[in-house]
Amino acid sequence: MRKRLAIVTLLFGFIGVAYSQVPQNGGGEKQPEHEPYQWRDLYAPANVPNWFLFGAALWAGIMALRTLKAIEKQTNLQTVAYTQWVKIENWEAASKRIAPAGGIPYGEIQIGFDVVNGSDFPLTMNSANFVFAGNTIFNSGDNVFLPPHSPYRIKLALQITTAQLNTWEQSILAIAIQGDIPHIGILGNPMSQSFKGLLVGGRDKAPYFQYEISMVPTEKRGGSGPTADR
């Protein structure tokens, strides 16, 4: 918008200089009709000051555009400096065999991980959702304050079948996990980070998360859900 205003100002300056050279009716004198204007008069010595004015207007317009570009660049740099994000780290998983009296034995994987504010400014996490194995859902709740670089620990127990537990104990097991982490930073812009992948681990294998969709911060635009970027 500012660039357009500068261009319009420059054009009006040029039109004003040119228009000042066109003969005007004045002093009650009648001008000949249909007399073509002698454009070469623009180069007459009497018009030299007007060309200096035009040059000054042109220079002012160019400097205004350069100033606007510098301001825009500085604004973009400040926005990047205040960009905020979260990350997930420190995955833990341990198995447990459960045999209820009179019931069907099953297994349980106790999972823990940290949601960490990776920026240098505080942010607020709102209703972060995590879905484990397609059915176990964890919700963080609203207004979870995350100081800079401080972990928010999440723990839950995931029920699995005896066959899955045997796989975990004998080799490795992959558990599908996806999540959506909305948050608001110091600029007040609602952001969201969606992710999807596999938690891979076993009794003798330290768990790690293999991303299918990485956690790219995406601005929320009034929809009910965020956009997940690969």
Give 62-113 pLDDT, tens digit per residue: 877 777 776 665 554 444 445 789 999 999 999 999 988 888 889 999 999 9
Q: How far apart are alpha carbons 75 and 80 in whole angstroms?
A: 9
Q: What is the pLDDT of residue 93?
A: 95
Q: Is residue 212 scored above 70 in pLDDT? A: yes
For residues 210-225, average pLDDT: 72
Provide the pLDDT for residue 127: 92
The pLDDT, as a whole number, for residue 198 is 95
Domain definitions of the chain by residue range: 2-23+33-81, 86-219
Q: What is the mean pLDDT of the chain?
A: 78
Per-residue pLDDT at 134: 87
The phi and psi torsions of 67 (rounded to 5 degrees) equal: -65, -40
The CATH class, in words, for 86-219 is mainly beta
- For residues 80 and 196, the model is more confident at 196
How long is the chain? 230
Count CB-CB contacts under 10 A for residue 46: 8
pLDDT band at residue 24 using 50, 70 and 90 as cut-offs: low
Give the model confidence (pLDDT) of 101-150 as tens digits: 888 889 999 999 999 999 999 999 999 999 998 888 899 999 999 999 98
The pLDDT of residue 55 is above 70? yes
Mean pLDDT of 222-229: 40
Among 71-85, 159-173, 179-193, where is mean pLDDT lowest?
71-85
Give the whole-number percent of the chain exceeding pLDDT 70. Answer: 67
How is the chain classified by DSSP, letter by letter?
-HHHHHHHHHHHHHHHHHHHTS----TTPPPPTTPPP-GGGGGSGGGHHHHHHHHHHHHHHHHHHHHHHHHHHHHHHHHHHT---EEEEEEEEEEEEE--TTS--EEEEEEEEEEEE-SSS-EEE---EEEETTTEEEE--S-EEE-TT-EEEEEEEEEE-HHHHHHHHHS-EEEEEEEEEEEE-TT--EEEEEEEEEEEEETTEEEEEEEEE----EE--S-SSPPPP-
Whether this prediction's pTM lies above 0.75 is answered by: no
Give the span between the Cα atoms of 58 and 52, in whole angstroms: 10
Torsion sign across C-alpha atoms 152, 157, 158, 163: positive
